[in-house]
Amino acid sequence: MAPQLVLQILASAPGTIIDAKLVQEHAVNNDYGNGWLRTAWAGNGPFIIKKWIPKQVIVLEKNPTYFGNKSHLNQVVFRHVPDSSTQALLLEKGDIDIASNLQPDQLNNLLKNKAFTTVDTLRFTQIYIPLNQTVDALKKDKVREALKWLIDYQGIEKNLLQGQWITHQSFYGIGQPGVLTDNPYHLDVAKAKQLLDEAGYKQGFELKMDVENTSPYPDIAQSIQSTFALAGVRLKLVTSDRRQIVTEYRDRKHQTILWHASGSYNDPNVSASDFAYNLSNSPSSSNRNRAWRSSWINYDINALTDKALHERDQNKRIAEYQTLQREMWKVSPYIFLFQQKERLATSSRVKYLVTGPSDSTLYNYSIKQ
């Protein structure tokens, strides 16, 4: 494999070091201690997990035996507060120091007070639409392309997302090697109508979209519904919770979804292996990645992905991933919309919080107060 890929994986969550002897003591049915690790700790990082109550709280304490620079904080408490208005209130009252998912209006009101600020980070998380290839209309290249011309990307970014997401149409995120930042699609109803006509859908067609019931997904979906309708695509929105949607997605029972994805390490392979590479569409396939979930397989794309995976020359590898991105625009069953610009609201007394593009690059031990 490419050396840079190996190094990126080792430097991320999949490469985390754990105490082998300790987890083996808690192994059940040869699970290597995986079941025990769901709520226990056997790591070697700057913090120890002191308490973990799912959907309530995680309490971390300084690890006195950590080999690197010790944490400036003795304890870090993560509270599960799903309601953003409650988070904003707790931050204003001083009950918490960091709020992770405030809405744009809540954030703007908070920042009027100099006691609060933000830590802004461009994440690898992207909002996209998978188009299931079991739907007859979605099997046609021209239909898929037409749908890409029926979204008001700029309007949604400006009026609904307000600085928390940016338009990005490649299948992997800005910040990864070789990413193309071109955004070739914009709202063009006339072009979309022409493509639908050429594909045999002059009168449009009906399509169901599953939508997560948390912000910003319902607002984005309603905008897409209105612009799809301009070319006769009658989009039925079905709103439900995340667990229900992901179950349907994993079982390939969706038509289309307004969904999201995020890379766990900083290399294009994290997305290519998920969205592009599919060796088998069989229901019994063991590799149930996002390409499989969309019932999509393309052997030319497989070959490009495999070539880039094993290319050891970094310049050649970047060029191959750029070729892959351009080909994915042409043939893939996805519409990529936005990349997250995470804005963590913090008390101004929180200094040196280090965030990054993935969950592997959030560091609390550097915080000083």
Residue-range domain boundaries for the chain: 8-121+341-361, 123-340
Q: Which amino acid is at 341?
A: K
**Residue 300: exposed, middle, or buried by beta-carbon count in 10 A (0-12, 13-18, 19+)?**
exposed
- Share of residues in the chain with pLDDT > 90 (%): 83
Q: Which of 9-13, 236-240, 269-273, 322-326 has the lowest mean pLDDT?
A: 9-13
How many C-beta neighbours within 10 Å does residue 304 have? 21
Per the model's pLDDT, the better-predicted residue between 107 and 39 turns out to be 107
Q: How far apart, in whole angstroms, are the C-alpha atoms of residue 229 and residue 28?
A: 54
- The pLDDT-based confidence of 300 (bands split at 50, 70, 90) is very high
Prediction pTM value = 0.90
Residue 344 pLDDT > 90: yes
* pLDDT, tens digit (0-9, with 9 covering 90-100), for 23-53: 999 999 999 999 998 888 898 889 999 998 9
Within the chain, strands assigned E span 47-53, 57-62, 75-79, 98-99, 116-130, 165-167, 205-212, 233-240, 256-261, 334-347
Contact indicator for 104, 155 with CB cutoff of 8 Å: no
* pLDDT, tens digit (0-9, with 9 covering 90-100), for 227-252: 999 999 999 999 999 999 999 999 99
Residue range 248-257: mean pLDDT, rounded: 96
Measure the CA dihedral 26/30/34/39, to 10°.
-40
Distance set, CA 220 to CA 44, 121, 148, 205 (Å): 41, 22, 14, 20
Residue 13 pLDDT > 90: no
Contact indicator for 337, 128 with CB cutoff of 8 Å: yes
- The pLDDT-based confidence of 152 (bands split at 50, 70, 90) is very high
How many C-beta neighbours within 10 Å does residue 278 have? 25
Residue 172: closest CA among 304, 316, 269: 269
* pLDDT, tens digit (0-9, with 9 covering 90-100), for 90-99: 999 999 999 9
**pLDDT score for 44:** 86
Q: Which CATH number fits domain 8-121+341-361: 3.40.50.970, 3.40.190.10, 3.40.50.10440, 3.40.630.40?
A: 3.40.190.10
Q: Does domain 123-340 have CATH number 2.60.40.1120?
A: no
Crossing angle for the helix pair 141-148 and 189-198, to the nearest 10 degrees:
170
Total residue count of the chain as it appears in this document: 369
Residue 319 pLDDT > 90: yes
